[in-house]
Structure 1
Amino acid sequence: MPRKSEKVSESEKLPRIGEEVVVQLQSALASAEADFGADDAPTFGLTPRMTAALEELSLKAEKASAGFTNIVTALAIKAARPDVDVRYHQSQIQSQTPNPAGFNFRGLSENFVYPWLSQNDFQGAKSGWQTRTLERPKPYRMEYDENILDIKDSFLAMYDELEEFDADPVEALRYIAYRQIQFRAAKQITIAEPKTSDITLIMSMLEAHFMYEYTAKGASRLPVLAFHAIYSVLVKELQRFKGKVLKPLEQHSAADSQTGALGDIEVSNENGSIFEALEIKHGMQITAKVLEDVKRKVMDKSVSRYYVLTTHSARIDSALNEELRQIQARFGCQVILNGVLPSLFYYFRLLAEPAEFFPAYARLLKEDKAISFQHREMWNRIAVG
């Protein structure tokens, strides 16, 4: 640690500040992904002027990528360090403000912000200061006289709102991230569809996909999609499911109590009653309380089998076996407790051609609203190898 009398160089400051900036970017992304997966359109605590400025900058992010990266950098710095006047973006002009940053923004833009934008498949340039009109040693005040193409008004309005009218940089970042997620989702997304029928390889791919430590929400949805995909093949092949119908998935945000669903996966009889259901738990141990919930769901239904499957690594408690026998004796429903991965392995062994699973899984990964870019990108990385 430097002594108080020692001056910390800018190169020493940047890694620490960069970490703070990335934390703000990741937080905005997580919030925006939750907004994107919700049923209702999000609201943002921003003035109409700030909203209009951010919207224009977002719409023109591809054409004016340097300007877009510039404002993302400034917003992230402001969110991390609220006291800094981000209009003063270069060290050489920061003596003009009582709230200097103490560093140039360009380094953060190139080494932290652009890599984050690129990693998430968002628009952006390698630097928010790569054009002469943006790198002038002048503060980004309303009288800034450089020609910033056709985003000048919105660019300067954003800075003005931020510093003169106390616009919330966290909300602004969330807005930017939300719009980028929307633009990204509108692109044609290609999801890998492996052709292998090697069950061991398939299982290793799925385990890696389920268990990766994502920053985005929605990982608990992945096993649900996998089981729906494999059931879409099973119902066509197995005699047990002759005349049965695999029901479409409910939205991830919808609770069973609201939809009336018995489980995450449901196979129905021709008359619409539920024949078989699966409830998928992500990282949750199966306990007696879980079985109590199952009893309430099946007590007035004619369900043949009800699976409760979990990604939790703990063994199923044998003390629950007596409760399982009681449920079958009283309600005629066979309740099966197991791990997600062992169950998938068993189902793959029943398929004539395990590779038929992949098109269904890819389609669900592409279409399901709870699935983020990070989940899709990770699947492609795993599948391609």
Structure 2
Amino acid sequence: MKYNEKEKHLRVFINKSEYHSDNNCIEEFKEGVVSNEAKMRIKHVKEIFQNGFLNQLICDLRENKIVADIEKVSVTAQNSLNELVDSLTSQVGRALIGLSVMQLCVKSIVPKQNVRLHKGSSNRGSFSWVEGISMRTLDKNFVTPALRKYDLLRLNADGFMMTRSLAENYPYTYLYKANLRGARDQWLNLVEELEKEKTEPIESLKYLLSKLLNAASEFNDKTNDLIEMAQKKCKKFAEKNAVITLVEKHSESSDYAARLLEISMHSLMQAAVSTGAFGDVEVKPLSQMRSANKKHGNIGDIELLENNDIIESWDAKYGKGYLREEIEEAVEKLENHNYVETIGFVTTAAIDRTKEINKRIEEIENLYSVNFQVLTFSAWVSQIYKRCLSSNFTNEKDLSCKWVQIYCEYLGQKRREQAPIDEPCLDWVISLIQILKDI
């Protein structure tokens, strides 16, 4: 039977393999003892691991000292990593996630190392690729200990590479035939993205570790504590100003106050819409941090949709009082949004050059028939409350408690469809627990 040479296939020779992908690209993998160049790469990788590379990265992410730059993680890689973590159960998926962490680490440390080649040895009696790397050694000594230490994956102490299905003498390609449990296709998609240099390894690694941190048992326990505490102290938040004080104090306690401003605004809008006071609209899910507005079709951070069209948009601007440039950028986006009625900016700073801004807003409103507003955070909250209370669908106490509840659930990853927050939230949850304790 003839085969189609344009289809993906693997050619296996006595001393090498050739991977033919469907775009006529051929990758050659020579078998034999590792080359001197490979030995140098392996030595460097081990040294970086020994210096605490993975442990330090996890700690910095937990403490929100660093975050993943989402723009440098390809959409395919994001989807693959999301599905890898979502597929994790107590019985399946752990090995592929552990392997993905290791491959991302290796690529981050030595981009030239091919992470398809999981065996490398100087022993002529053992199977090895000339440019391979012993992933089993790296796993047992560095990767599994770190993942176990921070409870990111519940792995056997001997490591995930002890899984026989990951040890076949074939490169990790779409044609790897071993029976793998978990998100096999997603893992192989990630490998392809890495080897074709379509995604940034270190940012992809941060992204994956962030998702694992948010799924860890410690995080879940703290989240449950937070939500329970918020429910018990609901009476403390019977008034709008009490919640404003809470979220402002929480925001100011973090190095990522701007992101918490977006989350607090989005959670209030979600609470407001859930009352029915705004009619038949929905809140567009919160965008990931650093997602480009133009790329995602956004006008602002918090948007109301009617029949999938943006009708109202609010952009959070932490600590910025002069917003002329932001207003002009919003005007440029109007040509792609024909149904928008209100565009607003919400700032935590005093509004600067009000006369100039008001004059420009009046010009824009006359040209486009769109209501432009620039408000302080407290004024915006008051406006949302007024709209809700005037409808008689809710009262100040119920709306305030609902806002606090949703804010806590957002941070606790309990509403990922509405707020897919991929920054590590543990530090935020812990700090909010402490603030609630003091109230």
Shorter-chain TM range is 0.5 to 0.7
Range 46-55 or range 301-310, more displaced: 46-55
Gapped runs of 5+ residues in structure 1?
1-20, 62-121, 124-149, 155-170
Cα distance in 2 between the residues matched to 1:287 and 1:268: 24
Alignment partners' CA distance in 2, 1:321 and 1:176:
42
Deviations 1:227-262 (A, max 9, x none): 2221123224465x2122222222223211111122
- Give the structure 2 partner of residue 308 of structure 1: 345
The alignment's TM-score, normalised by the length of structure 2, stands at 0.50
What's 1:257 paired with? 294
Change (3 A) 1:340 1:316: farther
Q: 1:30 maps to what in 2?
A: 60
TM-score, normalised via structure 1 length: 0.56
Aligned pairs, how many? 258
Q: Displacement, 1:317?
A: 2.9
User: Residue 340 of structure 1 corresponds to which residue in structure 2?
Assistant: 377
Cα 1:258/1:345, change in 2 over 3 Å: same
**Are 2:211 and 1:208 aligned?**
no
Task: Please give the residue correspondences for 1:262-273 in structure 2 after superposition, counting only pairs within 5 Å.
Answer: 262-269=299-306, 271-273=307-309
TM-superposition CA deviations, 1:87-144 (whole Å, max 9, x none): xxxxxxxxxxxxxxxxxxxxxxxxxxxxxxxxxxx56xxxxxxxxxxxxxxxxxxxxx
Cα deviation for residue 340 of structure 1 reads 2.0
Q: Equivalent of 2:264, from 196, 208, 226? A: 226
Structure 1 residue 325: Cα displacement: 0.6
Q: Which residue identity is paired with 1:310?
A: T
Q: Does 1:56 align with 2:56?
A: no
* In 2, Cα distance between equivalents of 1:25 and 1:317: 49
The match for 1:362 among 408, 423, 437 is 408
Task: For 1:360 and 1:35, locate their aligned partners in 2 and report how far apart those are by CA, in whole Å.
Answer: 24
Does structure 1 conserve the Cα–Cα contact (< 8 Å) formed by 2:349 and 2:376? Answer: yes
Q: Which segments of structure 1 move beyond 6 Å, counting only runs of 4 or more? A: 24-28, 36-39, 175-178
C-alpha deviation, 1:222, in angstroms: 1.4
> Residues 286 and 310 of structure 1 are in contact (CA less than 8 Å); yes or no, is this contact kept in structure 2?
no
Q: After the TM superposition, which residues 1-385 of structure 1 pair with which residues of structure 2 at under 5 Å, given as runs? A: 29-30=59-60, 34-35=67-68, 40=78, 43-45=104-106, 48=135, 49-61=137-149, 122=150, 182=212, 185-187=215-217, 188=220, 189-190=223-224, 191-192=226-227, 193=230, 194-195=233-234, 196-214=237-255, 218-237=256-275, 239=277, 241-269=278-306, 271-300=307-336, 301-315=338-352, 317-348=354-385, 350-351=388-389, 352=395, 353=398, 354-367=400-413, 368-385=421-438
The structural deviation recorded for 1:370 is 2.5
Q: Is the 8 A contact 2:214 2:425 kept in 1?
A: no
What are structure 2's unaligned runs of at least 5 residues? 1-50, 82-100, 110-132, 152-156, 162-200, 390-394, 414-420
1:25/1:281 CA distance change after superposition, 3 Å: farther
Percent of aligned pairs with the same residue? 15
Aligned amino acid, residue 379 of structure 1? L
Q: 1:53 to 1:206 in 2, by over 3 A?
A: same
Tell me, yes or no, if the aligned pair for 1:209 and 1:379 is still in contact at 8 Å.
yes
